[in-house]
Structure 1
């Protein structure tokens, strides 16, 4: 709904696949009311003009606006909502999150991307795996990396702590966010900040290990993207990571940062052959359970209009 600058990575992927993209403000002109009122009117106008069969919302803001529009529209398309945020919000965001959860009954079907998120909902929601397309395998498997927003919940500060314990190894951070300046001041010399990336395919090709140091998670796309390429994921036990990772088999899952450092040191001492076996098992996990081929049929079924 919002046109970000630079554009979200999804936009480049859609364009690369020749899938047309339109923003809400391009579909319908703005009025003279408040921002939220404008958005609701834009949605109702867009529905009346373009008559979509399904609207899928992702995030509390999109869900609240779409459900508000539904209340003012006599014939509204099938409304599907995804709950993906694992953190407990504070301040005004807490209120938005509460409204999103308790208004979920207005959606025709709801998905949750983790068991903990599903348990927080006062409505029925189906547990759904995030998914990725299977890429060509051409990784150089070199860097130890963090990929994500530089914010408190993603735990980039913990990644820097790990780098301090391994001064002879190079660590890379891909992403930007509100903690960038603070993190830069805390980081040792073996941490390189690469900033926002517009083409992650090139970035993935150089990563050998992805570290998930988040304080809160659902089922992070970065982990799926990494494993689909044979990049081994080292993660704290957050969100649905224990569903995705079988410790020592297709990746590594740790109970705290010190435990993660121990496992990372153990990985470094492994033979290339043993490492390759774990990489292959990571790819197999994504192919069988978290690929577009395995999940999209479920989505299509839920998108169908129920009689």
Structure 2
């Protein structure tokens, strides 16, 4: 099968780019997969002939709207050259709307995946709401990475939604001393790193680590107590987690929460706010704790500082993380492709190229 994946993709960073990167790698074992993403970028050498881009200005609002239009035109042009079987857009909104326009023009089946902020944020913007509703109504297949997002998609007009969670890449780390209480994520308001900084004040004898970058970084550094370190964005998350006693996820909204599963895969328990997809990933008292307010967060962190409890939760977390493998995720995505193409369509491709 020849597939066009549309959305954020490396060298872009972030949750959607991480998702599409791993999905494409897995799908390429059996199919011929191409990518259309936001420019300007320099594609990685091993796939430079299969990654295309639309150059748009990095201005919020303008970037997405232009991508919807220019992305559509690019898809039409690429289809004439490559003859796709299916389009798979990641992020319901402007990205998927490029696919909606292409579907209308080319009569190609369209699959769209909801990742979180698309349905939680984009859908609340005047023009964004139009893009989201049109995409949900016109796509042939809708995927949500959590049951929480499935409910959001249905409330916004989707008729049928398949839940397929994110997968995790295998993480391996050397044995290390557990030193830190850790936050990993973009330093933006909805990830709520300020709550993490406030938490550090309650445990002055513990070391706290803020891994990530974003517009709040300088402000956080100004207000943080001395026991907080800011290493910035890091690619070696496995090594960071290997040195972590626990992971804190204070996000105010979260469609899935991939970092929860990544931490669990390395035996690190997680304390996460009881919102969105986080509630589906943390089995309270098993692989971590859920919290609703700050006092409860402090209480749960104090409990986890009991090393025996943390070790037990870490072992349970490893077992739970086993079901989030990319091989399984890709197989379920292929089932959606079969559905939108017709059950008789052969999803294999003997001419598929390597990764």
Q: The TM-score by the shorter chain falls in which range?
A: 0.7 to 0.9
Which residue, out of 172, 175, 179, partners 1:136?
172
Which residue, out of 34, 39, 42, partners 2:71?
39
> How many residues matched?
298
Which residue, out of 13, 24, 49, partners 2:81?
49
Cα distance in 1 for partners of 2:139, 2:8 equals: 25
**Is 1:292 paired with 2:329?**
no
Cα distance in 1 for partners of 2:53, 2:89 equals: 18
Q: 1:125/1:29 Cα in 2 relative to 1: closer, same or farther (>3 Å)? A: closer
On the 8 A contact 2:114/2:145 being kept in 1, the answer is: yes
Equivalent in the alignment of 1:127: 163
On the 8 A contact 1:28/1:46 being kept in 2, the answer is: no
Query: Which sections of structure 1, spanning at least 5 residues, go unmatched?
Result: none
| Range moving further from structure 2, 101-110 or 131-140 | 131-140
On the 8 A contact 2:179/2:207 being kept in 1, the answer is: no
Equivalent in the alignment of 1:302: 336
Cα drift, residue 249 of structure 1: 1.3
Equivalent in the alignment of 1:72: 105
Cα distance in 2 for partners of 1:208, 1:105 equals: 45
On the 8 A contact 2:7/2:90 being kept in 1, the answer is: no
Alignment of 1:28-177 (within 5 A): 35-36=66-67, 37-59=69-91, 60-73=93-106, 75-76=107-108, 78-85=109-116, 88-89=120-121, 93-121=125-153, 122-123=157-158, 124-136=160-172, 138-140=174-176, 141-177=178-214
On the 8 A contact 1:216/1:238 being kept in 2, the answer is: yes
| 1:75-102 per-position Cα deviation (integer Å, ceiling 9, x unaligned) | 42x3211112257437984531442134
Query: Which sections of structure 2, spanning at least 5 residues, go unmatched?
Result: 1-5, 40-50, 57-64, 344-355
**Is 1:187 paired with 2:224?**
yes
Cα drift, residue 296 of structure 1: 2.9
Q: 1:296/1:27 Cα in 2 relative to 1: closer, same or farther (>3 Å)? A: closer
Give the alignment's TM-score, normalised by structure 2.
Answer: 0.74
**Is 1:228 paired with 2:265?**
yes
Equivalent in the alignment of 2:311: 276
| Range moving further from structure 2, 189-198 or 87-96 | 87-96
Q: 1:21/1:80 Cα in 2 relative to 1: closer, same or farther (>3 Å)? A: closer
| 1:218-252 per-position Cα deviation (integer Å, ceiling 9, x unaligned) | 11111111111111111110112222212221111
On the 8 A contact 1:58/1:81 being kept in 2, the answer is: yes
Q: 1:166/1:29 Cα in 2 relative to 1: closer, same or farther (>3 Å)? A: closer
What is the DSSP-based 3-state SS (H/G/I as helix, E as strand, rest coil) of the residue aligned with 2:295? Answer: helix
Q: What RMSD over aligned residues (CA atoms) do the two structures have, in Å? A: 3.1
Cα distance in 2 for partners of 1:5, 1:184 equals: 28
Q: 1:248/1:138 Cα in 2 relative to 1: closer, same or farther (>3 Å)? A: farther
Q: 1:13/1:118 Cα in 2 relative to 1: closer, same or farther (>3 Å)? A: closer
